């Protein structure tokens, strides 16, 4: 397994649970999650339940029941409740650190071998398996199978000719995580837009160790503007947000140092196939990085990990297992990649003419029940996700949690 982010440890745990001997390589000696909060959708929650981790993650996270978005003219642009589709359905606003540590503890307890501080730079195939080559020139292996979970800038993807598209998306986001002092932002993912160039968002993100609720702030930004934004200083940044909404005032008061703001950019990756022969397979952002507009990336990689483990368990040989994994994930990944590409310009682009019709039409168009259901299913990550079979947590691995 190359990469110990979200997909790497999830796939490692599931495969170790099937009795496979798994080694995880991670370039950082002390891997830490970057960024602030993420939305864990019902799809991702199902995989965490299978790993026996849902209770731990949910207990430190915020239940998100609704998405509410306004235009700069205070017009409602989106107002969806997950329970429009199913009572009890919800998202979880999760601190990345919580998800990461839950997964990391699980692979340590399962006896997965960890090789931290090893930056994998290449792969070499031989008759008896694959060897990994690291930045120091050392070789590791041979391994029967290499799972590339090395993220959006995957060096292993670049070592193949499988990418049909691999570009930086021109927009990203600036994130910060702070206290939600008066618990004002619980249960709702709140967004506020000015045309297609400006999005301000607040995502409830669970509670700190001392019980104080937290909220993640995000501000959409064109990547080439980030240096300028930093040069203009924190007060100018806050003034831009305050000019749009007063909803973030208490949150902004807690941002006193520009280092509290983290810039994250997205990539747009399309691969011809999710595997190269029967020795190398891709999961998560390495396989299908996309903009975070639909908040699906971490959920997609959890589904990939589960589908890969299912395919390896069900198929007698790696060639047919990897073909089966690819078949199981193709429609779902393709659909979300396509929707993400269609929808991102409506919220993050210089196509300013798209802003007014979005503000006028999105809410009334999504009022009829079938459209509303579709929008919520889309958000929940469940459209075309049926190939994913939910099963009990794996047996046979050490450290299994029930």
Ligand X SMILES: Cc1cc2nc3c(=O)[nH]c(=O)nc-3n(C[C@H](O)[C@H](O)[C@H](O)COP(=O)(O)OP(=O)(O)OC[C@H]3O[C@@H](n4cnc5c(N)ncnc54)[C@H](O)[C@@H]3O)c2cc1C
Q: In Å, what is the CA distance from 382 to each residue of 7, 46, 131, 334?
A: 18, 11, 37, 13
Q: What share of the chain is helix, strand, coil (3-state, %, to 5)?
A: 40, 30, 35
- Residue 28 interacting with ligand X (CB under 6 A): yes
Spatial strand order of the sheet with 146-148 comes to 146-148, 280-282, 275-276
Residue 317 Cα distances to 132, 311, 353, 398, angstroms = 22, 10, 52, 25
Nearest residue (CB) to ligand X, 39 versus 89: 39
CB nearer to ligand X: pick between 93 and 213? 93
The rounded distance, in Å, linking the Cα atoms of 14 and 9 is: 9
Tokens at 97, concatenated: 């650190």
Q: What is the 3-state secondary structure (H, E, C) of 22-86?
A: CEEEECCCCCCCCCCEEEECHHHHHHHHHCCCHHHHHHCCEEECEEEEEECCCCEEEEEEHHHCC
Under the binding rule (CB under 6 A), the answer on residue 67 touching ligand X is no
Which one, 5 or 394, has the nearer CB to ligand X? 5
Burial 128-152 (b: 16+ CB within 10 A, else e): eebbbbbeeeeebbbbebbbbbbbb
CA–CA dist 357, 266 (Å, integer): 26
Q: Of 142 and 315, which has the nearer Cβ to ligand X? A: 142
Q: Interacting stretch for ligand X, rule CB under 6 A, among 19-27, 176-184, 225-233, 337-345?
A: 19-27
Write the interaction track for ligand X spanning residues 253-282; mark x where CB under 6 A is met and - where it is not.
-----------x-x----------------
Interaction of residue 27 with ligand X, rule CB under 6 A: yes
Q: Which stretch binds ligand X (CB under 6 A): 23-31, 236-244, 314-322, 385-393?
A: 23-31
**Residues 118-157 close enough to bind ligand X by CB under 6 A:** 119-120, 149-151, 155
User: In the set 8, 60, 195, 206, which binds ligand X (CB under 6 A)?
Assistant: 8
Integer angstrom CA distances of residue 344 from 53, 348, 385: 31, 6, 21
Among 106, 180, 247, 285, binds ligand X (CB under 6 A): 285
Token code pair at residue 80: 């969806």
91 is a contact residue toward ligand X (CB under 6 A):
no
| Nearer Cβ to ligand X (344/365) | 344
379 binds ligand X (CB under 6 A): no
Among 12, 13, 15, 26, indicate the residue that binds ligand X (CB under 6 A).
26
Going residue by residue from 156 to 195, which x/- string records binding to ligand X, judged by CB under 6 A?
-----------------x-x--------------------
- Supply the minimum distance, in Å, between the C-beta of residue 4 and ligand X: 5
Asked if 295 is part of the footprint of ligand X (rule: CB under 6 A), the reply reads yes
Residue range at the interface with ligand X (CB under 6 A); choices 30-38, 60-68, 123-131, 241-249: 30-38
Tell me the window of 27-35, 79-87, 233-241, 250-258 that interacts with ligand X (CB under 6 A): 27-35
Which residue in 14, 39, 255, 385 binds ligand X (CB under 6 A)?
Answer: 39
Neighbour tally for 40: CB within 10 Å: 27
All residues at 6 or more sequence positions from 156 whose CB lies less than 8 Å from its CB, including other chains: 2, 120, 123, 146, 148, 150, 280, 282, 286
Which residues are near ligand X by CB under 6 A?
A: 2-8, 25-28, 31, 35, 38-39, 119-120, 149-151, 155, 173, 175, 264, 266, 284-286, 292, 295-299, 301
């Amino acid at each position: 397994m190359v990469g110990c982010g979200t997909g790497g440890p999830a796939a490692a745990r599931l495969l170790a649970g099937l009795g496979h001997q798994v080694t995880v390589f991670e370039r950082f000696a002390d891997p830490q999650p970057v960024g602030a909060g993420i939305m864990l959708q019902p799809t991702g929650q199902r995989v965490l339940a299978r790993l026996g981790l849902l209770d731990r993650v949910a207990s430190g996270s915020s239940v998100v029941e609704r998405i509410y978005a306004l235009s700069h003219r205070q017009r409602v642009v989106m107002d969806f409740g997950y329970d429009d589709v199913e009572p009890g359905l919800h998202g979880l606003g999760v601190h990345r650190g919580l998800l990461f540590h839950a997964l990391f503890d699980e692979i340590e307890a399962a006896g997965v071998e960890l090789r931290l501080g090893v930056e994998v730079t290449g792969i070499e195939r031989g008759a008896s398996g694959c060897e990994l080559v690291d930045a120091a020139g050392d070789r590791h292996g041979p391994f029967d199978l290499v799972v590339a979970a090395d993220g959006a800038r995957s060096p292993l993807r670049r070592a193949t000719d499988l990418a049909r598209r691999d570009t930086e998306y021109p927009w990203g986001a600036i994130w910060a995580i702070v206290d939600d002092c008066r618990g004002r932002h619980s249960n709702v993912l709140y967004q506020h837009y000015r045309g297609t160039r400006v999005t301000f968002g607040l995502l409830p993100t669970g509670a700190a160790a001392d019980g104080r609720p937290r909220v993640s702030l995000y501000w959409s930004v064109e990547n080439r503007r980030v240096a300028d934004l930093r040069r203009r200083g924190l007060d100018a940044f806050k003034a831009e947000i305050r000019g749009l909404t007063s909803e973030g005032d208490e949150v902004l008061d807690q941002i006193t140092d520009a280092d509290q703001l983290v810039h994250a950019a997205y990539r747009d990756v399309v691969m011809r196939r999710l595997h190269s022969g029967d020795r190398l397979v891709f999961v998560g952002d390495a396989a299908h990085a996309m903009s975070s507009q639909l908040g699906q990336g971490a959920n997609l990689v959890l589904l990939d990990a589960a589908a890969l483990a299912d395919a390896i368990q069900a198929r007698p040989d790696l060639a047919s297992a990897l073909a089966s994994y690819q078949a199981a994930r193709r429609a779902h990944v393709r659909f979300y990649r396509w929707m993400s590409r269609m929808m991102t310009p409506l919220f993050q682009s210089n196509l300013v003419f798209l802003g007014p019709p979005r503000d006028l039409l999105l809410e009334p168009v999504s009022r009829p029940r079938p459209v509303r259901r579709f929008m919520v299913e889309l958000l929940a990550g469940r459209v075309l996700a049926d190939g994913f079979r939910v099963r009990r947590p794996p047996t046979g691995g050490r450290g299994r949690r029930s």
